[in-house]
Amino acid sequence: MRDDAARIRALIKRWADAVHQGDLDAVVADHAEDIVMSDVPPRHDGVRGLAAWRKVWPPFFDRQARGASFAIVSLPVTAGDEVAFAHAPLRCGSPQDPAGHPELRLRLTPGLRKQGGRWVVAHEHHSIPHTG
């Protein structure tokens, strides 16, 4: 299980790097066809399926290209033999832009399952804190 946790940490770091670089194929590489995502904007039923999930990213890539960060702060992973989850808070503000929420944090909880001998992300919960 220690190896599994290390593999999952590497997977999530690769994914975060791919988001920051705007590399869509790498962003979707380790996600399940039936992924269900709770995204930051309101979609009551979530983002369902890899095709819908792919469409989430291009607007976010634009923001990254304008100088936003996507940096994992900590990455504890709880892994069994077949199922795992992680808790990955990220900094995703725009440090150079005072109007761009320089200190913004994204809270990320990926849920993973082993499939054909490899780990895939089957659920992903993204949120930002709500101050209202």
Binding site for a copy of itself (CB under 8 A): 1, 36, 38-46, 76, 78-85, 87, 89, 105, 107, 109, 111, 113, 122-123, 125, 127-131
**Shortest gap between Cβ of 29 and a copy of itself (angstroms)?**
20
Give dist(CA 84, CA 53) in Å, integer.
20
**Shortest gap between Cβ of 14 and a copy of itself (angstroms)?**
21
- Between 1 and 6, whose beta carbon lies closer to a copy of itself? 1
- Between 25 and 132, whose beta carbon lies closer to a copy of itself? 132
Give dist(CA 4, CA 10) in Å, integer.
10
The answer to whether the beta carbons of residues 107 and 89 sit under 8 Å apart is yes
Tell me how far CA of residue 54 lies from CA of 69, 74, 102, 108, in angstroms. Answer: 20, 25, 26, 17
**Shortest gap between Cβ of 25 and a copy of itself (angstroms)?**
25
